[in-house]
Amino acid sequence: MKKHNFNAGPSVLPRIAIENSAKAILDLNGIGMSLLEISHRSKDFQAIMDETVALFKELLEIPENYHVLFLGGGASLQFCMVPYNLFKTKAAYLETGVWAQKAIKEAKFFGNVEVVGSSADKNFTYIPKNFAIPKDADYFHITTNNTIYGSEIHTDLESPVPLVADMSSDILSRPIDVSKYALIYGGAQKNLGPAGVTFVILREDILGKTDRPIPTMLNYKTHIKEGSMFNTPPCFAIYTCLETLRWIKNLGGVQKMAEMNKHKAQLLYNTIDNSKMFVGTVEKDSRSLMNICFVMKEQYKDKEDAFMDFAKGKGMIGIKGHRSVGGFRASTYNALPLESVQAMVDCIHEFEIINS
């Protein structure tokens, strides 16, 4: 039976990226050594790092005055690194889900945090609008896509202060204007690569404006100076990111990813909206193209477990909703083929015919 991987992360990767990474584990580019055992200081790995950074910059059209870093610690460490490096007196945050809340919690260790908007009142089922960003804030932090609740900010916001974005789950899924952001970060394990590496895109002029001493490993300047290799980087994860970036470029780049993702999401959302038994959980103008969340209509709630078992029997993997939301979640990241979304649609239709 074919498996359809809707996991929220770590998630589906391009098959060619997996296959080429597996080959590199056995023998990297014919050098007679495994990717897992070469020195990160070797010319072989430096070439990998250089190409990964260059391709990332090319695909996202990152301006020349920005640095790209590949670090450890996940996006969760960035919740701390961002305020350590940027927070002077006050920071502004948009509260749109669990990960935004975790970022806010870390920032509060550094001083006054102003939450300029929140969708907590409706269990994060929409993106707040008409909020005011304080001009005296050191930076404004947003989480562009919310994997747990299935909402997404679809445009590049205008901000009077440096804009910082956690793009863990929608990076490379659509074109962005990087110049509107001072710093972008995220875990790789959605659209970029496997778990274990974190990307950071930052404009250097935002650094060096705080008076506090910053621990060496938490200082962005440390990693800029050493080209992401102050300490041993997550070599294997970076290599798989490179293979994924090559795949994206060969398919037509980020614009092509956006077209594919819109088509996949529209197909599944249309099915849910016209369903007898299911209903979406997020307001339509806030719906994520990456994480599609839905539940059973009230009169069919007793059939949730039956649908989960039915879907698993059809090869659907990872569709159980997060425990804080319940219901179902289909993550439709870049590497998920349209075939899998169609299989999910067919699964919903078949279950409805049998049970409604």
Q: Which of 195, 178, 286 is nearest to 240 (CA)?
A: 195
Distance CA 306, CA 60 (A): 42
Structure tokens at 64: 């020349």
Phi-psi region of 11 (alpha: psi -120 to 50; beta: other; left: phi over 0): beta
Residue 133: closest CA among 106, 152, 114:
114
CA distance 127 to 143: 10
Length of the chain: 356
Burial of 1 (C-beta count, 10 Å sphere; 0-12/13-18/19+): exposed
CB 111 within 8 A of CB 263: no
Task: Say which of 138, 190, 264, 320 is annotated catalytic.
Answer: 190
Is 99 a known active-site residue? yes
Contact 321, 149 (CB under 8 A): no
Choosing from 99, 138, 170, 320, the catalytic residue is: 99
Give the three-state DSSP class for 317.
strand
249 is catalytic: no
Q: Tell me the sheet residues that pair with 287.
A: 151
Give the Cα separation of 285 and 282 in Å (integer). 8
Residue 38, helix vs strand vs coil: coil
Q: Which candidate, 269, 271, 285, 268, places its Cα nearest to that of 338?
A: 268
Phi/psi at 177 (nearest 5 deg)? -95, 95
For the chain, count helices (H), then strands (E).
9, 14
Catalytic option among 166, 170, 264, 320 = 166
Secondary structure letter of residue 321 according to DSSP = P
Please tell me the distance from the alpha carbon of residue 14 to that of residue 115, in angstroms, as a whole number: 38
Q: Is 166 among the catalytic positions?
A: yes
Which residues are known to be catalytic?
99, 166, 190
